[in-house]
Structure 1
Amino acid sequence: MRSFLLQSGGIRLPASKRSDRHLSMADREEISRGIAAGHSAAVIAESLGRAASTVSREIRRNGGRENYRAVSADQRAVLLAKRPKPQRLDVNHMLLIVVAFKLGQDWSPEQISQWLRRTYPEDASMRLSHEAIYRSIYIAERKALARCLVRPSHHLRSGRTMRIPRAPRVSNRGRLKNMVSIHRRPSHIEERTEVGHWEGDLVMGARPSAIATLVDRKTRYVRLVQLPNGIKADVVRAALTSSFRGLPAEQRLSLTWDRGRELAEHQELTAELGLPVYFCDKRSPWQRGTNENTNRLLRQYLPKNGDLRQFSQQDLNEIADRINTRPRKVLDWGTSSDAFNPSARATDPAL
């Protein structure tokens, strides 16, 4: 395997496949017919489902409206897209000599690149990025640089013969399995016509303290769940299960959550309660905006830097009650408590 990777210096060579984002031959035929019909670039672009600037640039770079031909434009695009392209050091002998000399002095590719930029500020042909120098060393070690230096990679401080990317390796650790996307959530949940569709998240205090917050999408009714034993998945699942079991089945119809690892046991939660769980897209907390807005209200009582483990479940119930019994503009100045449990108000002897 290593000998195979050494052939490309550990650098992934670009594929020659044409991307779906690029104009196809059929697209260029449409552009040609649109020009012949006297349509503007904007009209042609609309028929292709493309940006007007894409069509305008395509026409301009291929001779303008009078000289545009679909076949020649497509052939030119294929030619320009061919990879790998000739290395700049293969075609610029002076640049090759300079780069090889500086490498021989044990300069790093970044030092060489910046020195070229300062020494030849007006001559773009005498500039080269540090990444291009690395590629020339690792991919073309037996080509241009090898004519000037023996084993160019030996002049690098690392002494490596392969490029090791800086990007972090993709890991499956901590990823949630079998998530159901929010885009598969039934459309009637969006309409907020039914009680029992919840949004949830954690409100964090001083680490590792946290509180689970649940908000009903229709009534904005809040439930707070104590997490005195931390936020590991099994602990959060058990706490949510206990909290939801305090509600009748018709008031626990679905739950939408962020992608936090604390809900890794969402399948168990669904199995125990018959409660489907939907997950937001990455970095899209606005998709459960009702919960986000409620969490901001809760910060009046649950400070970011405070130890939230000091709050008992009774304390949390009282905080939730403060919010649930306030008149809300979104509820036409009714309260969340009355909207969530309309029968409670009618049977309460204190009212």
Structure 2
Amino acid sequence: MQHEYQQLNMEERVKIQYGLWQKKSLRTIAKELGRSPATLSRELRRNKGFDALKRRHYHPLKAQELAKGRIIGRGRRLRLKSPFVRQYAHAKLREGWSPEQIAGRLSLDYPIYRVSHEAIYQYIYSQYHREGYGTCIGIDLRAWLRRRHKVRHRKKVPYAVEKGHICNRISIDQRPAEVESRKIAGHWEGDSMVSRKSQIRLNTLVERTSGLALISKLSDGKSESTKRVVVRRLKRIPRSLRRSITWDNGFENARHEEMAKALGTICYFAHPYHSWERGTNENTNGLIRWYLPKGTDFAKIPNRVVKFIEHQLNTRPRKRLNWKTPSEVFNSIVLR
């Protein structure tokens, strides 16, 4: 009669570890447990982990976890087989990367690892059903997927701001066609993000060719504050990369002529309620909202957090940049 195989339990795994510490042979440990030497040999081969020095060793808790994950996933395909790829995906999901960005950048940085973004999506959802597949129990990776609304509503500002007519605006209709093509760097788009709970705003500037984002806190919605911050940020950029800025029609941009003179550039204005004419900037604002959802009080967000978000966006690979990052592309332009 064939003996029905039973999985090793936690108590047995502890005894295996203790026996190994005592320098006992596998045959001796197997005899003490009433198991075959082949069972213990298979256990060590399949369920060894790594210590802090990256050395292979046997630990009962890790072995139990690996075995449990294998049982849960039995009969199901593991979407990301490489532990390195899984760890890479976990880290980048936490940084707000999409599966498509992860797959694209992975193949760029580590050509030997190639996975599709669909495989990453399937891993995320199958990981939830199989309880993390052993190594991620208790973590639902779906929470790290970006969720964005495609419809944007007109901004409602509960605080008093400057109102009036913006003099001497230059329409986007007069903007050179080269700006739309993105082939020539140095053309920027600008906007202000509003907080419903305070007067503090975020000024965002995005370079169209590279997608490089500059994010700054504004003390209020006044045009003087916007002018001061924009000049300070763009003054650090080479003049050859300050060709133009395209704004919306918010009165915070009323000092556009002073900005243009200080920066040696020209300011254009999109048509009212045509946010798609500044699509690069609108998309970036949507990415910022992943970190700072609507309803966030910007007054409670320290500058170091704003700088962190700026860094995250500028070091995130983009499909249209062939999976390079905005910082990489912009720096390569500066060094030409």
TM-score (structure 1 length as normaliser): 0.47
Which protein is bigger by CA-based radius of gyration? 1
TM-score, normalised via structure 2 length: 0.49
